[in-house]
Structure 1
Amino acid sequence: METDRRGLLGGAVAGAALLAPGAATAQGGDMDKIRRAVSAGHDEAIARLRQWIALPSIAAENRDMDKGAAMMAQMARDAGFQQATIVPTDGAPGVFATMDNGAAKTLGLYFMYDVKQFDPAEWTSPPLEGRIVDKPGLGKVLVGRGAVNQKGPESAMLAALHAFKRAGVKPPVNLVLVAEGEEEIGSPHFKQIVERPEVLAALKKCSGVIIPAMWQDPTTGDFTINLGAKGIVELELIASADNWDRGPTRDIHSSQKAIIDAPAWRLVKALDTLVSEDGNTPTIDGWFDKVRPLTAREKALIAESARVRDSADALRQAGVKKWIGEESWQATLERLAAMPTVNIEGLVAGYTGPGGKTILPAKATAKLDFRLVPNQTYADCVAKVRAHLDKRGFQEIAVKVGGGYDPTETAEDSALIRAERATCERAGVKTTVYPRLAGSWPGYIFTGAPVSLPAGQFGLGHGNGAHAPDEYLLIESTNPKVMGYDAATAVFADFLYQVAAIA
């Protein structure tokens, strides 16, 4: 593939900034060697990412999970991990790998090798091809399922480790990698991987854990450091005659609605009790009992984010015209951080093809996700959904729980967050600190007992479209404020030096 990397770090002010003094620097010009190695390995790294995207391990479909774990383990070995083993669970297998560089500090890496489902008909280029196309205003992007969530950023971290090998430079920290294949269904078995004695012992040696990300703002190049993430519950509510002495046991003619109850309407009525009249505030009994209000410091961080981030630009990127309630930008960002949510992912009942079919469906299903904030817990919230429905006479509505986990939090003054900030400063990237990501990842496994480490997402560069058609990762940037793939890869290398230096 032909590339124009404009002095390696194409589309990034970081090219010069990474040469500037900082909290830590590589010894004897090693960082220069690593940057040259990143450039030399560019085509190889992109080919590796495209090969990874071509294998779609999809937990929800139980598709290629063993192959996905095997590829993950081999990629770890190829990047320099001395050992990488496949870890069985009651679900999809995980991977545990270690790299001993004789360093004083150890960093944990969390990877996921699974991706969301996709419908090729909704994509403008094949979702498993990893085709590189021009995206106006950004540059050349790689389009594929998993491009930004999460294979692209993870591949850049692996590319950084390959660059260390190519340059003949030993990474400044030891590494522990734990990877799973069920993040996209709520990580139901990830705890089984982490709590294995050998994995837990290795993680306890770490100073922190990150999941690689590429989250620069595509317009300004700014980066937000999140001090945590919301938790999540994923479940289905199912209405049918299985648990009900009403309604049809099979689809019947819709004329019978005059005398027979409809599971679809029963489900709609149950769903309506979960939220306020406008659908925007949870009304589940006791849902807010344990919710911790924003602290004064969190409100201050949000106020600063509101000052430097542009509401109109955020609306444009989200593809919407108005925020809920049309409140102030600061109030909107406070809501984003502090409001637990009840979301309908999908509704399925009866016939949905062309034209009408005039049936009374025997079954109706709603797929929901609930985002949780401190101090809510996964187990307590699942129990509250069941109790809420039972109290209102919906005992027959089945609650089929998929997966999920608690919220996660990391201290602002932790060494991991300070290393993230130092890396961004050296790269010349403006940062803001935000209380928590509105999305979710199973960081609670690391921040909670028995691991009890700081953990978060980190990485520069840019991508978008997670879970959606035409998911993409920026490869060559035309915006000098936003890093392309090579620049982001070099930043991961520099981040390891900051982790090594900051106590």
Structure 2
Amino acid sequence: MAEFTRVRDGVDRRDFLALAGASALALGTPAWASSAARYPAIRKAAEAGREAAIKRIQDWIAHPSIAAENLNMKEGAEYMANLAREAGFDSATLMPTDGHPGVFATMDNGAKRTLALYFMYDVKQFDPAEWSSPPLEGRIVDKPGFGRAIVGRGAVNQKGPEATVLAALHAFRAAKVKLPVNLVLVAEGEEEIGSPNFHQVVQSPNVLAALKKAEGIFIPASWQDMNGHVAVNLGSKGVVELELIASGEKWGRGPKGDIHSSMKAMVDSPAWRLVQALNTLVTPDGNTAAIDGWFENVRPLTPREKELIAEIARSGDEATQKKLLGVTRWIDDLPYAQALERLASQPTVNIEGLVSGYTGPGGKTILPGRAVAKLDLRLVPNQTRKEVVEKLRAYLDKKGFNDVELKVTGGYDPTETAEDSRIIRAELATYKRAGVKATLNPRLAGSWPGAVFTAPPVSLPAGHFGLGHGSGAHAPDEYYVVESTNPKVAGIVDAVMGYVDMFYQIAEVK
């Protein structure tokens, strides 16, 4: 079991940082440490601000905003806006929506170019019983192979990486160095429920006008693997989150509420009704959507995308990926390269959860009057959220399931960004200068609301960028490495300097 050390009071934190500095010297100097020569004043400020940067993450973790539970949403937006102001943004404004508010902030540095940043201040739900330390405590623990990490809900998704960007801005201010780019920050509090209202923030006149001046936008990331490698994503799948609901009331058969299970001999079951509807959506193995017209707009992989995937397969570690996922084989026992092609190219219909009747200990012998399936649909170019929802509804109706309700809770279209766009070239140049191997990835299988930026009327190239490592998003014991004992992986100060260099690369790249 890892030794737990809280970094909260001054003594513990200073001891921790002193030990961390000693371990870094013992490990030798990684390539990105050359940032000290390029930006000596900023590097010195980042090192001096390391303690504050760690505490900033811990304090933010202690203030969760959970959109799915309507928990601390206005407070979370105000907290986000205050963090932006403290980091040097000229203004930070709460942006009302039909749901939870967003935040809009700008920083005019008199630069020729502008860079946009996407943040989220909401986090996923959590069950403290599933965690090895309290999920809002931000405890520092050992992570073998990586170093010391903050554990807490939102540590890597996204408060750790976002707070590291803010730490970079604090370092500029402390060093009295003006940023080489102007900044636009847009943040939302509904990412974890599918960003249903974020477009209202982005398309408001003042935000849209500011974004139109930007070279591109990125979401902070910390995806270095144990070897220090990263992926540069040229797009992401879209997603639709929804519920399918079968009920005796809507069906006109079965009970309107729960009844004794002995009545199943003469009463229809809404739960079985839902199971039958779900079975029609996919092929018998559950792996391919069977919805009419599902694939008609799907764009096949281009030769260049296949080439990039083949390189990922050659350089990747299939055994380690399977181990991390807890699987022993891919769909249809596909070879690794073909499995990766499927991952990038195939839209999916996935069951997130099934809820009906009694699920506690023991039995309760009821016939439920209602059953709910939570689904997510992952989309690829050229599918759209609107299209797939309409096709799903039409298909259910065609199959005779008019009574099964379809409730969309969030989602957005897929994204694509050109390989030769300025933001992608700046990312690659920053990683190269840091000595980090970066592999181009045609499409992230996960999703983020980047489509609100890449699609009209904004039409910005968008991506993910950042040094460092974290994992466990949406899961118990989510973590973010703040002090690396792995010479190939950046700790928080080196991750800060990665963002510093990215700002300069955006300003300089042709």
CA distance in 1 between counterparts of 2:40 and 2:283 reads 57
Give 1:248's aligned residue. 255
Give 1:139's aligned residue. 147
User: Out of 364, 369, 375, which is 2:376 matched to?
Assistant: 369
CA distance in 1 between counterparts of 2:25 and 2:410 reads 40
Q: How does 1:199-210 map to 2 (within 5 A)?
A: 199-210=207-218
Deviation per CA, 1:339-362, whole angstroms, max 9, x where unpaired? 111111110000111111110001
CA distance in 2 between counterparts of 1:12 and 1:172 reads 32
Aligned-partner residue type, residue 338 of structure 2: A
Deviation per CA, 1:316-342, whole angstroms, max 9, x where unpaired? 222222222221111011111111111
The unaligned stretches of length 5 or more in structure 1 are: 21-25
Aligned-partner residue type, residue 253 of structure 1: H
The alignment status of 1:125 with 2:133, answered yes or no, reads yes
Contact 2:412-2:451 within 8 A present in 1 as well: yes
User: Out of 498, 503, 508, which is 1:496 matched to?
Assistant: 503
Give 1:442's aligned residue. 449
Contact 1:9-1:486 within 8 A present in 2 as well: no
The alignment status of 1:433 with 2:433, answered yes or no, reads no
SS in structure 1 opposite 2:343? Answer: helix
Q: How does 1:375-390 map to 2 (within 5 A)?
A: 375-390=382-397
Contact 2:111-2:181 within 8 A present in 1 as well: yes
The alignment status of 1:312 with 2:327, answered yes or no, reads no
CA distance in 2 between counterparts of 1:116 and 1:181 reads 11
Contact 2:67-2:192 within 8 A present in 1 as well: yes
State the identity %: 64
User: Out of 102, 108, 119, which is 1:100 matched to?
Assistant: 108
Q: How does 1:31-430 map to 2 (within 5 A)?
A: 31-217=39-225, 219-430=226-437
Contact 1:10-1:484 within 8 A present in 2 as well: no
Change (3 A) 1:98 1:146: same
The alignment status of 1:452 with 2:459, answered yes or no, reads yes
Instruction: Give 1:487 deviation, angstroms.
Output: 1.1
Q: Which runs of at least 4 in structure 1 moved beyond 6 Å after TM superposition? A: 7-14
Aligned-partner residue type, residue 106 of structure 1: T
Instruction: Give 1:281 deviation, angstroms.
Output: 1.0
SS in structure 1 opposite 2:167? Answer: helix
Change (3 A) 1:101 1:13: farther
Change (3 A) 1:222 1:10: farther
Instruction: Give 1:9 deviation, angstroms.
Output: 6.9
Deviation per CA, 1:376-403, whole angstroms, max 9, x where unpaired? 0000011111111000000000001101
SS in structure 2 opposite 1:346? Answer: strand
CA distance in 2 between counterparts of 1:301 and 1:84 reads 40
Aligned-partner residue type, residue 299 of structure 1: K
Instruction: Give 1:17 deviation, angstroms.
Output: 3.8
Aligned-partner residue type, residue 410 of structure 1: T
Change (3 A) 1:299 1:495: same
CA distance in 2 between counterparts of 1:473 and 1:292 reads 36
Instruction: Give 1:498 deviation, angstroms.
Output: 0.4
Change (3 A) 1:235 1:300: same
SS in structure 2 opposite 1:149? Answer: helix
Instruction: Give 1:12 deviation, angstroms.
Output: 8.8
Give 1:19's aligned residue. 34
CA distance in 1 between counterparts of 2:463 and 2:381 reads 16
Instruction: Give 1:15 deviation, angstroms.
Output: 4.6
CA distance in 2 between counterparts of 1:99 and 1:105 reads 12
Aligned-partner residue type, residue 373 of structure 1: V
Contact 2:30-2:488 within 8 A present in 1 as well: no
CA distance in 2 between counterparts of 1:364 and 1:446 reads 37
Instruction: Give 1:200 deviation, angstroms.
Output: 0.4
Contact 2:224-2:469 within 8 A present in 1 as well: yes
Instruction: Give 1:243 deviation, angstroms.
Output: 1.2
Change (3 A) 1:8 1:443: farther
Instruction: Give 1:368 deviation, angstroms.
Output: 0.6
Aligned-partner residue type, residue 233 of structure 2: N
SS in structure 2 opposite 1:286? Answer: coil
Aligned-partner residue type, residue 157 of structure 1: V
Number of aligned pairs?
A: 495
Instruction: Give 1:13 deviation, angstroms.
Output: 7.9
Give 1:23's aligned residue. none
Contact 2:427-2:502 within 8 A present in 1 as well: yes
CA distance in 2 between counterparts of 1:463 and 1:196 reads 33
Instruction: Give 1:66 deviation, angstroms.
Output: 0.1
Q: 406-415 or 30-39, which moves further after superposition? A: 30-39
User: Out of 477, 481, 484, which is 2:488 matched to?
Assistant: 481
SS in structure 1 opposite 2:39? Answer: helix
Contact 1:416-1:455 within 8 A present in 2 as well: yes
Deviation per CA, 1:190-215, whole angstroms, max 9, x where unpaired? 01001111100000000000000101
Instruction: Give 1:168 deviation, angstroms.
Output: 0.9
Contact 1:8-1:35 within 8 A present in 2 as well: no
Aligned-partner residue type, residue 322 of structure 1: R
Contact 1:247-1:260 within 8 A present in 2 as well: yes
Aligned-partner residue type, residue 34 of structure 2: L
Contact 1:226-1:437 within 8 A present in 2 as well: yes
Instruction: Give 1:261 deviation, angstroms.
Output: 0.5
Give 2:9's aligned residue. none
Change (3 A) 1:418 1:341: same
CA distance in 1 between counterparts of 2:162 and 2:28 reads 22
CA distance in 2 between counterparts of 1:364 and 1:302 reads 40
Instruction: Give 1:137 deviation, angstroms.
Output: 2.1
CA distance in 2 between counterparts of 1:12 and 1:205 reads 43
Instruction: Give 1:16 deviation, angstroms.
Output: 4.0
Instruction: Give 1:5 deviation, angstroms.
Output: 3.9
Aligned-partner residue type, residue 33 of structure 1: A
Q: 152-161 or 2-11, which moves further after superposition? A: 2-11
Aligned-partner residue type, residue 106 of structure 2: T
Q: How does 1:461-472 map to 2 (within 5 A)?
A: 461-472=468-479
Aligned-partner residue type, residue 318 of structure 1: L
Change (3 A) 1:14 1:285: farther
Deviation per CA, 1:200-239, whole angstroms, max 9, x where unpaired? 000000000000010111x211000000000000000001
The unaligned stretches of length 5 or more in structure 2 are: 1-12
Contact 2:29-2:487 within 8 A present in 1 as well: no
